[in-house]
Chain A
Amino acid sequence: MSTPTVPVDEDEFVASHEVVTVPVSRRRRIGIGVAFLLAGLITFFAWGIGARNGDAAFQVSQFGDKYQVPTMRFPGGAVAMIFGVIIVAVGIGQLLRPYGRTAMRWAVSVTALLFVLAFLCWAGTGDPTNAISLTGLVANSVIASIPLILGALCGIIGERSGVINIAIEGQMLVGAFAGALFASAAHNLGIGLIASLAAGGLIAVLLAVFAIRYLVNQIVLGVVLNTFALGLTNLGYHSIMQSNPDHYNAVTTLPPIKIPLLADIPIIGSALFDVNIIVYITYGLIVAIDVALFRTRWGLRTRAVGEHPKAADTVGIKVNRTRYRNVIIAGLIAGLAGAFLTIGGSGQFNTNISSGKGFIALAAVIFGRWSPRGAIAAALLFGFTDQLQITLGIVGTPVAIPSAFLAMAPYLVTVFAVAGLVGRVQAPAADGQPYEKE
């Protein structure tokens, strides 16, 4: 028996796809617009009109670079005023017709960039012989960002699988300590590097065992582990390193590795491609984790375990095994961040050398909404604000800004960022919840 096939209208089965944009409330629209306008007006009046006479000078090449680019000079005040006008225009645009999601992202980025550039122009005016070293600023910002980026990657891997990690700071600290101690005692930087990884991993093992097996509250656990790491490294510093600093805490630094050609690019070349091995590992990790988290089986499992462990378990993913593995890998990365502070930087350990970098990295994770790209952008932002104060301290601004306020800037930026831009965050759904089979 054959039933006559009814001719089907193809269109009936095609699901129509419509992008629904959530209407933005009037109050929010005007609020954002006014914020843009304010930023523009500050740029115009404070950085533009408030600038000193004389050109702003920016040094683009450093002494000894292969390609010498002459120092840029232009009237800083006028440029800042132009930037101010552009930002005001962006604000008017928002008031007239609110930006969509993508446009808003662009608007915020452009505004932030122009605001900072105008600020630099303002700071640089006055004495054209005293140029702001853009090369130095970029290089230092990258250096300052590396531990934050590594710390943020550590946080992301753990938290995406559902384990809150406040102990990044502690992992960095023991990593820094072990790196300096072993590199110095063994006269071998490789051993120091491995010791750093192992030390960070050990704290991670503690975190994983207490969080996953003993179901300890993870936020509390992280804070306790930080205290533990601080006490332990202080003890080691006072009892071991100081007993014989030449043997246990000698200056040992990883040598920079120069990549030919790439290192000769002006401004960014030497900052990005004439650096030590940890920075190159960081580049690799950034790419690897960004790809792995969204394109591989491991990434899919990690995210599944972090969002809905029960569902993941039902389809046969070993929830707690995945979490153990991720937390420990994350610990290795944080240990590497610690190594960067000692053998990758100053070469020596000092008490509390991480000085809150782990917490800033944590803020970067939240600010970047648990995505590698967002977190790295946030880490770069924090690294830049951190270095800006040093650059400004050298150049001297038209109106003296106390260095304490500049030093506060990264922390205030974080508070504003977390409160204003991020607000009620959406962490992975099962973040911080231990999973037990029923």
Chain B
Amino acid sequence: MTTQTAPADVGPPPPTGRRNLGRRILDGYLYGNTAVVTALAFVCALVFGAVLIALADEATRKSLGYFFQHPTDTFTDAWNAISAGYSALFRGAVFNTDSLYSNGGIAVFGPISDTLVNAAPLILGGLSVAVAFRAGLFNIGVQGQLIMGAICAGYVGFTWHLPAGLHLIVALLAGIIGGAVWGGIVGYLKAKTGAHEVITTIMLNYVALYLLGYLLGLNGFQAPHQTEATSPRILSTAKLPHLFGSLHSGLIIALVAAVLCWWLLSRSTLGFRLRAVGANPFAARTAGMHIERGYIVVMIISGALAGLVGCSQALGTRQVVTQDVDAGFGFDAITVALLGRGSPGGTVLAGLLFGAFRAGGVVMASQTHTPADVVSVIEPVIVLFIAAPALIRGLFRLRAARSGSVGQLAKGWNG
């Protein structure tokens, strides 16, 4: 029988016995533990990105035209483009050395706060995809669910008048419900009719997008006296509290959600049931679990998390609902979940990394000639390398490389 568990990924076991530290580190490399494979995949993707930066650079392309006369020109131009691009990426995402000498003109923690602002929705979206993965469902519908969340949270945020604190909680609940309903529809259809979630989520994404476009042209949802398709601003009582720099408390929600997801998946009965349904639905059914109910529950949870992404956007980052409120977080959430290998902790780390990429990409595009799109190529390439440990093993002469990828959990059409 052909099976999903690929025996090629399982190499010889690492030797046991007494070893010194150096030997253990070397073994950790040679026998490719998860961190090593992730780091190597990251390096490969950065190298690939560097090639793209060079190719996207006009000067490099020009000097490539006379490569055989002056090969050094090409390398110099390429190096200039690559180093400028990646250093701008670092400046935008982590730390700008200029801020130390600018006497307060440039915020020291500005880049970090930009990174964290982007990380919050990525973590929430990643958790949404990861939770569904654990129950064997592939939720590509984060985009639609977060849009519904943003619509509901935004509507409560700019039309209702409630005391501060209560207003925020009600708006958050509305966003959660909006996302949960949109996700729940998918789970219900899967449970009752067997409609595959990959198709229904993609279609509901479009439905949500058009619904948002319709609402933004309606009286009462569109800001009065505005020709642009934008909602009124969120009332100050419903805003997510501001922390520092550009950072709002969406990050705290994301971290709390990550802890809750960890508890749900690895410590609760419900999580155990969901994982059982994901690992082997037939065995789960034999053990007396309702796999249909599992599908509905997990999609409601997944949708609720995606709804929180919408809250973070509508109540925190944007404070207004527009047509592009999803900001591409819906699809980036999938790569985050894959990079995080479906575990809440990994998703938080992956969210931070991709948040840094996003924040740095903006600075890179504004300060160098390299478009921010390079980042959106590097991200899937990282995941591609991680998903194929055998490739990493071949490239770096490892004796074994473990994937532990959540990839195995997404079922085919018949699953």
Binding site for B on A (CB under 8 A): 164, 166, 210, 213-221, 223-225, 227-228, 230-232, 234-236, 238-240, 243, 309-310, 356, 359, 362-363, 366, 402, 404-405, 407-408, 411-412, 414-415, 418-420, 422-427, 429-436
Contacts and interface: CB of A to CB of B under 8 A. Distances in A.
B380 A415 contact: no
Contacts of B206: 356, 408, 411
A431 B377 CA distance: 28
B52 A235 contact: yes
B200 interface: yes
B9 to A, nearest CB: 8
B400 interface: no
Interface in B29-52: 52
Given A216-B388, A310-B2, A366-B199, A404 B213 contact: yes
B232 to A, nearest CB: 20
Tell me which of A359, A431, A435 has the highest count of chain B C-beta atoms within 10 A of its own C-beta: A359
Contact of B195 (A216, A236, A415): A415
A199 to B, nearest CB: 15
A362 B199 contact: yes
Contact of A402 (B195, B214, B379): B214
Nearest to B52: A235
Chain A: interface secondary structure?
helix
A427 B414 contact: yes
A404 B193 contact: no
A220 B338 contact: yes
A425 B196 contact: yes
B196 to A, nearest CB: 7
Interface of B: 1-4, 6-9, 52, 55-58, 138, 140, 189, 193-196, 198-200, 202-204, 206-207, 210-211, 213-214, 217, 331, 334-335, 338, 369-371, 373-377, 379-381, 383-384, 387-388, 390-391, 405, 407-415
A407 B370 CA distance: 36
Given A223-B331, A424-B193, A436-B7, 17 more contacts: A210-B388, A210-B391, A215-B388, A216-B387, A216-B407, A217-B409, A217-B410, A219-B412, A235-B376, A359-B202, A366-B196, A408-B206, A408-B210, A412-B203, A415-B199, A427-B412, A433-B3
B199 A227 contact: no
Contacts of A243: 58
A433 B388 contact: no
B371 A414 contact: no
Contacts of A412: 203, 207
B2 A217 contact: no
Contacts of A239: 55-58, 369-371, 373
Contact of B373 (A238, A402, A426, A436): A238
B407 A220 contact: yes
Given A215-B6, A310-B2, A418 B200 contact: yes
A301 to B, nearest CB: 17
Given A234-B373, A240-B56, A411-B203, A432 B2 contact: no
B55 to A, nearest CB: 8
Contacts of B369: 239
A228 B390 contact: no
A377 to B, nearest CB: 17
A219 B198 contact: yes
A156 to B, nearest CB: 13
Which 7 pairs from chain A and chain B are nearest by CB? A432-B412, A424-B194, A217-B407, A404-B214, A239-B56, A231-B376, A427-B413
Contacts of A425: 194, 196, 413-414
A431 B388 contact: no
B2 A433 contact: yes
B335 A224 contact: yes
B414 A431 contact: yes
